[in-house]
Chain A
Amino acid sequence: SAVISQKPSRDICQRGTSLTIQCQVDSQVTMMFWYRQQPGQSLTLIATANQGSEATYESGFVIDKFPISRPNLTFSTLTVSNMSPEDSSIYLCSVEEMDRDYGYTFGSGTRLTVV
């Protein structure tokens, strides 16, 4: 399966600032996704990162708050903008693997704490 490197693994940020999270995959993948996992909760899909075009956001998530880049088939970034304590969560990158008959692989996540 693909190997995903997600950076940073954790960070503590001041409210009002922004953090960019990187997701690097060791092989080319078509579909990349960003999820949020709030403390004690399940995963919620933020958006699908589309290569060469704007990301597709799920209901409740907007580009101004969570801008996403996908410059090629192996890399994507998620920015959490103008952070507040409510943004404290784990953010995870995921890819769909056609070689594994469309199973999905997840990164280990970025644990964000906003103070």
Chain B
Amino acid sequence: DAKTTQPNSMESNEEEPVHLPCNHSTISGTDYIHWYRQLPSQGPEYVIHGLTSNVNNRMASLAIAEDRKSSTLILHRATLRDAAVYYCILRDRSGAGSYQLTFGKGTKLSVIP
């Protein structure tokens, strides 16, 4: 399975930008980089995903290194509602041949008022 490495936890001040790093040195050419977040007592929520180019949406931006061995999720202005566990995941093929998401431990983001 493709694997990612994230810091266990990070802190950010409210209204400040947040850069959440992810290393995926064994990524293959067809693996998409997905980011999800999980708020307390909820299921994971899709944030953003990309393959090679940087991506922007209303929630966040995804910056992908040129060699694709790392990426950074950028929250432009952290709010208290952004406090969650953020998962960086490589969408890869299972042994049965279907695509799947394999979750790691994620980064717990705390937002300080």
A positions within 8 Å CB-CB of B: 1, 31, 33, 35, 42-45, 48, 56, 58, 92, 94, 96, 100-109
SS of A interface (majority): strand
Contact A48 B43 (CB under 8 A): no
The count of residues in chain B whose C-beta lies closer than 8 Å to any C-beta of chain A is: 22
Residues of B within 8 A of A92 (CB): 43-44
Residues of A within 8 A of B49 (CB): 101-103
- Which 8 pairs across A and B sit closest by C-beta, in order of nearness? A106-B43, A43-B103, A56-B96, A42-B103, A103-B46, A106-B44, A108-B43, A109-B43
Chain B stretch 10-58: residues in CB contact (< 8 A) with chain A: 32, 34, 36, 42-46, 49
Contact B46 A104 (CB under 8 A): yes
A99 to B17, CA, bound (A): 30
Contact A104 B101 (CB under 8 A): yes
Residues of A within 8 A of B102 (CB): 45
- Indicate with 1 or 0, residue by residue over B96-111, a CB within 8 angstroms of chain A CB atoms: 1011111111100000
User: With A102-B32, A103-B34 in contact, is A48–B91 under 8 Å at CB?
Assistant: no
